[in-house]
Structure 1
Amino acid sequence: MPEHERYDAHHKALSVNLDPTTFGSFAEIGAGQEVARWFLRVGAASGTVAKTISAYDKEVSDDLYGAGTRYVSKPRLHAMLDNEWQQLLSQLQATRGDHTKFFSFVDTISARNYAGTNDCHGWVGLRFMQQPGGPPSDIFLHINLLDPSNVQQQEAVGILGVNLIYAAYFVSGPAEKFLQSVFEELGLERVEIDYVEWSGPAFADWKRDEAHALLVVGGYAEAVAFPAGDELAPSNELLYKRALVLAPGRFDNVCDLHADLIEDTVAQLPEEELKESKGGLGLFCLSVEGISAPGQQASVKEILEHVEELQRLGYGVMLFRAQELYTMSAFANRYTKLRIHFAIGLTVHVRVLQDRYKDLPGSLLEGLARIFTQNVRVTVYPMPAEELRRRAAAAGLVGWSWKETDGMVSADNLHPPGSLDSLHQYLLDSELVLPGKPRTAQPSASSAKV
């Protein structure tokens, strides 16, 4: 396909069907059989489709793929793929193996239920040969389905599956090019890809962390998780029912004090929240916007340098597309109903109050409302007065004043200009914003203004 040309799902499915060397099977659980349906309805399906199956019944699924795993999970997807691939080769390798590039497509999906109460997500996998008789390559995706209806989610899965099979055979090269093809005719309002895993010669040049960061940088996910350990995982598996402490920031100079933000806040989590949860979890939050310069999107290289520095402090990192706190809390609330605790430094707090939220009709008031209507508490830790003075001057802040205690400024001693100070005082009085406790006593005080 020429670089400038883009095919829709119909043309992609037909292109695969008309290729005499591709032949494979489809096993789909949940969200209908929308992927196979594309290949069956565009014509020439007999040249591509060896078998389609949909083992909806749990007992039937267990008999085929084994019991003991969650039905919508990566282990289940692996079991499905191994079973279907082994069967495909045992039945067709002898007669077609010398001229056929076999493939097996599998998915297990939890599409929107009748009541709309479930987590709409799924796992998608493909094993394929690049050459007849050659070694297979695997690719696995975790996806989130965001369409409001079951039918629309089925349609999205169908398009994504067609795109994946087409990309495997017709789009070679770097991860960015491959993922762009997989995401065509979709968008973040419909589907997110927040995890990708692969093996085999087709992806020999891909790098794991780069591809993971690319999911956000390329616009395929709102956020991805880089856990503290070495093993990546989808956000729903990391955040599910956890008592969360999120520490967002630009992290120009990573140091132990950033870890203290999380450690101190986790230590203060209410006991009742911990009992209701699967345990406390602290994460740094990094946005692809504003790392290198405000308003500019960072490169994958810059992002991974920041991620690695933060992980050395002992905590994982959530990488977000947006930098607003209300976006981060809304994302976390997909997977936990417990209170979200933000642990921030004073400069982030100033940015929250100074931001005009131009994308929101209600500007600042709507931005703050979106944060605090989501069961959020913000703990603001003090910073050195000299550092605050330097950053205020660099940001061009006018009318802000504060009282410093032993060279430090805390949230309750910070005063924004004009009527904004009254709003700030309300947030403090209502304990929506909590001043972080200094680590040492602060005996002396003085005042400053910019």
Structure 2
Amino acid sequence: LGMRFQSATRGEPSEIIIHVRMLDEANVDQQEALGVIGVNLIYGAFYYHQPEKLIASLNENLPPERIQVDMIKFSGPAYAEVDNRLMSLQLVSQGLTNAVMFTADGESVQPAEILHKKTILVERGSFRPVTYATNDMLEGARKIFLRQPEAKEEDLVVLMEMTLENLLAEGQLNHADFLARVDILGSLGRTVLISKFGEYYRLAGYLSRYTNKMVGLVMGVPSLHEIFDEKYYLNLEGGILEALGRMFKSGLKLFVYPLEDDESGGLITATQLEVAPNLRHLFQYLIENGFIQEITDYHRDYLKIFPPDVLARMRAGDPTWENMVPPEVSRMIKARQFFGFRQPVAA
């Protein structure tokens, strides 16, 4: 759905394009919803000069269970200062959709364009900043993923996912911080997914909407431990059994990066994870059937790298943070003063 208009007499046209996902079952209801959102778009283009207000108005007189807007693009002189990545973020934060996606060059895209009938590998994180461990985890998972008989490299799509909950960790959305993370991921050639899927089973359900091929989720041992914490599934009638059933029903696999134990210095791998006694047989079933797999190809030194530690050193002016991130990430952070970077303290 699109709107093209002139904001000045004889001026160049400006344009707004949105992708609407219709959730009504009956065609007549879909037609009605499309008409309402079309009127809202036209009205907003002429009367709401702040794109955020226009986005908020798109679903006026439409309950959220009838439509989702999962892509929006502003262009032209009326929107010369608009960053479409921030507008995509607005779609999620204002509740118009559960997830948005943009490519490494910052182009907002409809998820189906990227994911349709593809094999998908997703790494969730804060990416604040991207570290050697971030890339090591992904590369180790990628090698195992491509060994699976149903995975082909030419069909593989790699996504770096950030949740809205993570972006709101400091209480409110920080646009500069968000763009810093996205710019760094873009410089590494990564496609970015922003979602409201706090629980992994919801992410799995979203991805299965677009593909019937293999999906892999990349995570560390702490995230795997959270998956087997029953407190996260109190809202489901079937509890953890329902959540895991929904997560693994399409053959999804978890690729788990080991953790170095602070006290003993030993490794905690996926198969060594201690879960609640009543879940041990379920956990073992998933291990033995290949739904949970260890990442075995990794750099031991990178296991000690954690983004919060890198961030703290960076802000304290401790130059050792540069040894924890790839050179291109370090250069971008210093050149553009990302994440509160401070110059090293003189000795």
TM-score (norm 1): 0.61
- Residue 207 (structure 1) aligned to one of 83, 102, 115: 83
Conservation of the 8 A alpha-carbon contact between 2:260 and 2:267:
yes
| Aligned equivalent of 2:275 | 416
| Aligned equivalent of 1:156 | 33
Alpha-carbon offset, residue 131 of structure 1: 5.3
2 CA distance for matches of 1:205 and 1:170? 18
| Aligned equivalent of 1:330 | 205
Alpha-carbon offset, residue 257 of structure 1: 1.7
Question: Does the alignment pair 1:261 with 2:261?
Answer: no
Q: Deviations over 1:390-410 (max 9, x none)?
A: xxxxxxxxxxxxxx7x63210
| Aligned equivalent of 2:237 | 361
Question: As a proportion of its length, which structure holds more helix?
Answer: 2
| Aligned equivalent of 2:120 | 244
Question: Does the alignment pair 1:146 with 2:23?
Answer: yes
Instruction: Please tell me the root mean square deviation across aligned C-alpha atoms, in Å.
Output: 2.6
Shift in CA distance, 243/320, structure 1 to aligned 2, threshold 3 Å: same
Question: Does the alignment pair 1:428 with 2:287?
Answer: yes
2 CA distance for matches of 1:140 and 1:431? 43
Residue identity (%): 31
Q: Deviations over 1:312-357 (max 9, x none)?
A: 4442221101221111111111211102111111111111112422
Q: Which runs of 5+ in 2 are unaligned?
A: 301-347
Counterpart of 1:424, as a letter, is F
1 CA distance for matches of 2:232 and 2:107? 38
Shift in CA distance, 437/234, structure 1 to aligned 2, threshold 3 Å: same
Conservation of the 8 A alpha-carbon contact between 1:243 and 1:278:
no
Shift in CA distance, 210/283, structure 1 to aligned 2, threshold 3 Å: same
- Residue 373 (structure 1) aligned to one of 244, 249, 252: 249
Question: Does the alignment pair 1:282 with 2:158?
Answer: yes
2 CA distance for matches of 1:325 and 1:372? 10
Question: Does the alignment pair 1:227 with 2:103?
Answer: yes
Conservation of the 8 A alpha-carbon contact between 2:255 and 2:292:
yes
Alpha-carbon offset, residue 440 of structure 1: 6.1
Alpha-carbon offset, residue 190 of structure 1: 2.1
Conservation of the 8 A alpha-carbon contact between 2:121 and 2:142:
yes
Q: Deviations over 1:368-421 (max 9, x none)?
A: 1110113211111102212xx7xxxxxxxxxxxxxx7x6321011111233233
Max radius of gyration: which structure? Answer: 1
Alpha-carbon offset, residue 258 of structure 1: 1.3
- Count how many residue pairs are aligned between Structure 1 and Structure 2: 299
Alpha-carbon offset, residue 297 of structure 1: 6.3
2 CA distance for matches of 1:186 and 1:280? 37
2 CA distance for matches of 1:298 and 1:169? 27
Write out aligned runs for 1:25-36 (5 A): none
SS at match of 1:210: helix
Alpha-carbon offset, residue 367 of structure 1: 1.4
Shift in CA distance, 154/373, structure 1 to aligned 2, threshold 3 Å: same
- Residue 339 (structure 1) aligned to one of 214, 224, 235: 214
Write out aligned runs for 1:59-78 (5 A): none
Q: Deviations over 1:59-110 (max 9, x none)?
A: xxxxxxxxxxxxxxxxxxxxxxxxxxxxxxxxxxxxxxxxxxxxxxxxxxxx
Counterpart of 1:195, as a letter, is M
TM-score (norm 2): 0.77
Q: Deviations over 1:38-77 (max 9, x none)?
A: xxxxxxxxxxxxxxxxxxxxxxxxxxxxxxxxxxxxxxxx
Q: Deviations over 1:103-135 (max 9, x none)?
A: xxxxxxxxxxxxxxxxxxxxx111123455554
Question: Does the alignment pair 1:316 with 2:175?
Answer: no
Alpha-carbon offset, residue 263 of structure 1: 2.2
Q: Which runs of 5+ in 1 are unaligned?
A: 1-123, 390-403, 442-450
Alpha-carbon offset, residue 425 of structure 1: 2.0
Counterpart of 2:42, as a letter, is I
2 CA distance for matches of 1:440 and 1:314? 22
Conservation of the 8 A alpha-carbon contact between 2:254 and 2:292:
yes
Conservation of the 8 A alpha-carbon contact between 2:164 and 2:194:
yes
SS at match of 1:273: coil
1 CA distance for matches of 2:147 and 2:173? 36
Shift in CA distance, 347/314, structure 1 to aligned 2, threshold 3 Å: farther
Question: As a proportion of its length, which structure holds more strand?
Answer: 1
